């Protein structure tokens, strides 16, 4: 079996249009929330979103080409460009059929669907854009990345709602570990901040109605109201270790475990017993050869919804055991950027990898009121500079999809079975 490392990362999200900018703002505990100004929201009592402000893809994508891409595809291409530049290679020494592209999306080109459907209703079917179908389908982010890079290996999307980004990274990890690929561009992208989307999530009572920007996303807090809808993309370059070492690559962290399970329970609620998510954690630890006591940090799914936070807490305790769980630092990046749906797991994987590399765990923002059913160490008092050798990143998606990734600090020369 091959070992898999992260050698490049790229992102665009509410706190930055590059990994360095994003990480700087994470460390500064900045909030990526803003008042809704993309459309008239007077029909809603929702005030805030996690929007990417002033996004300009022209440095990476020609304007004519950009007009033929939905915003979620532009985000993915933009982040992939940064990730490849960060990795300092175009993999020209590899067979292009040995370099894959696996990029997930929870929904895909919803902006195009809304736009063209409105045009259809107002002007008739003849006015629908000839680019409508390729712009809205969820696989186009990965398709466009492959066309621009020439990578011809396994190329498919993962569509598992809010677990899409983590599943994409996990499947890419397995492709390299099992010898099918030498490298893979993997992650997730989403751009669905529209009136239609907010209406749907609002009617589900999933969104925060807070009128306080500093308290609109408060994972694990007893008074949490729901999540803030965000957008963006996270893309990682995964590479077989020996190839990375041979070219002198910078290595952020090693991915050494992946768990994927289904709850088989409910369309939107996680399993109240936490069984599915707990099993995903257990599978990731088993593959990584890690005991519960060795886990230093978990980047939780942590949506700030009543059911998710409670049941994820239960899953962590079930998987690690009460004693180990209470000694493990748990935080939620969504407390600063909101919920990026299909991109969430990928952006949070970037945070987890950097936490491992730099021995740093960011604070969970907005927490004030303890919940007796959420009783773990949620890093609420401030950032921590502490040793992080092993970390997990959890994702849970509507439909009962669970994913856990296990990251280890890379130590040159260290052998692993």
> CA separation (Å) from 384 to 218, 270, 381?
19, 30, 9
pLDDT in tens, 337-359: 999 999 999 999 999 999 999 99
**CA separation for the pair 328, 310 (Å, rounded):** 17
Task: State whether CATH 2.60.200.30 applies to domain 4-246.
Answer: no
Domain 257-400: give its CATH superfamily.
Answer: Thiolase/Chalcone synthase (3.40.47.10)
pLDDT at 274 over 90: yes
Buried b (16+ CB within 10 A) or exposed e, 156-186: ebbbbbbbbbbbbbbbbbbbbbeeebbbbbb
Q: What is the mean pLDDT of the chain?
A: 96
pLDDT in tens, 209-224: 999 999 999 999 999 9
**CA separation for the pair 386, 394 (Å, rounded):** 20
pLDDT in tens, 116-159: 999 999 999 999 999 999 999 999 999 999 999 999 999 999 99
Strand-pairing partners, residue 213, are: none
Torsion sign, CA atoms 294, 299, 304, 308: negative
Extents of the domains making up the chain = 4-246, 257-400
Q: If we measure between CA atoms, which residue out of 140, 139, 137, 136 comes closest to residue 158?
A: 139
Q: Are 162 and 92 in contact (CB under 8 A)?
A: no
CB atoms within 10 A of CB 381: 10
pLDDT at 417 over 70: no
**CA separation for the pair 405, 193 (Å, rounded):** 27
Q: Are 348 and 392 in contact (CB under 8 A)?
A: no
pLDDT value of position 351: 98
In the 8-state DSSP scheme, what is residue 333? T
pLDDT at 414 over 90: no
Positions annotated as catalytic residues are 162, 301, 339
The answer to whether 4-246 and 257-400 have equal CATH topology is: yes
In the 8-state DSSP scheme, what is residue 98? G
What's the token pair of residue 337? Answer: 């950027």
Confidence grade of residue 367 (pLDDT, cut at 50, 70, 90): very high
- The residue behind tokens 């459907």 is 117
pLDDT at 90 over 90: yes
pLDDT in tens, 369-405: 999 999 999 999 999 999 999 999 999 999 999 999 9
pLDDT in tens, 31-59: 999 999 998 888 889 999 999 999 999 99
């Amino acid at each position: 079996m091959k070992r898999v490392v992260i050698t490049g990362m790229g992102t665009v999200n509410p706190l930055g249009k590059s990994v360095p900018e994003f990480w700087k703002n994470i460390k500064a505990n900045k909030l990526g929330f803003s008042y809704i100004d993309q459309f008239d929201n007077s029909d809603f009592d929702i005030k805030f979103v996690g929007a990417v402000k002033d996004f300009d893809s022209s440095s990476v994508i020609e304007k004519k080409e950009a007009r033929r891409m939905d915003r979620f595809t532009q985000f993915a291409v933009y982040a992939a460009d940064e990730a490849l530049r960060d990795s300092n290679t175009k993999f020209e020494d590899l067979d292009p059929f040995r370099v894959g592209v696996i990029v997930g999306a929870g929904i895909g080109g919803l902006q195009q669907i809304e736009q063209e459907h409105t045009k259809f209703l107002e002007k008739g079917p003849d006015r629908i854009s000839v680019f409508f179908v390729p712009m809205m389908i969820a696989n186009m982010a990965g398709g466009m990345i492959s066309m621009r890079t020439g990578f011809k290996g396994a190329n498919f999307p993962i569509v598992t709602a809010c677990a899409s980004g983590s599943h994409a990274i996990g499947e890419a990890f397995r492709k390299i570990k099992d010898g099918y690929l030498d490298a893979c561009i993997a992650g997730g992208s989403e751009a669905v901040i529209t009136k239609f989307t907010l209406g749907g999530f609002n009617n589900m009572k999933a969104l925060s109605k807070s009128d306080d920007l500093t308290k609109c996303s408060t994972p694990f807090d007893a008074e949490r109201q729901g999540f803030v809808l965000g957008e963006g993309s996270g893309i990682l370059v995964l590479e077989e270790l020996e190839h990375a070492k041979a070219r002198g690559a910078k290595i952020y962290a090693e991915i050494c475990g992946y768990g994927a399970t289904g709850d088989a329970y409910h369309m939107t609620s996680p399993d109240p017993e936490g069984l599915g998510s707990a099993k995903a954690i257990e599978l990731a630890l088993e593959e990584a050869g890690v005991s519960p006591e060795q886990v230093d940090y978990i980047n939780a799914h942590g949506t700030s919804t009543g059911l998710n936070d409670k049941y994820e807490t239960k899953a962590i305790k079930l998987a690690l055991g009460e004693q180990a769980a209470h000694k493990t630092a748990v935080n939620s990046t969504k407390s600063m950027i909101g919920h990026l749906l299909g991109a969430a797991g990928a952006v949070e994987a970037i945070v987890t990898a950097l936490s491992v590399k730099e021995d740093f765990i960011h604070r969970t923002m907005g927490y004030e009121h303890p919940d007796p059913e959420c009783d773990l160490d949620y890093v609420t008092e401030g950032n921590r500079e502490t040793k992080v050798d092993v970390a997990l990143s959890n994702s849970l998606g509507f439909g009962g999809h669970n994913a856990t990734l296990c990251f280890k600090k890379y130590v040159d020369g260290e052998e692993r079975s």
